Amino acid sequence: MYHQCQERGYATPVDVLMDIEVLPKKKYEDWRFGRIAYLVSICTVNLCTLSSIMHQMRVYVKKQN
């Protein structure tokens, strides 16, 4: 998130997941164009880990205001 905020001024959860290689870019594009029904189904980690990542992102945002 830090690098994205420095480069663009903002960070998105999808971009962060692609940066940490939890979400493959090719499959993300398939989801974007409707070829895959659920984004969570293409993530390479389980729901518990994905939830933890999202929690850490929220904690980071709160600390940075």
User: For all residues of the chain together, what is the average pLDDT?
Assistant: 93
Burial bucket for residue 48 (CB in 10 Å: 0-12, 13-18, 19+): exposed
The CA distance from 14 to 6, in Å, is: 17
- 22 pLDDT band (50/70/90 cuts)? very high
User: Based on the structure, what is the number of domains in the chain?
Assistant: 1
The values of phi and psi at residue 43, to 5°, are -70, 150
Residues spanned by the domain of 36: 2-64
Residue keyed to tokens 């293409």: 42
Mean pLDDT of 4-32: 93
Q: Is 24 left (phi over 0), alpha (psi -120 to 50) or beta?
A: beta
- The pTM is what? 0.82
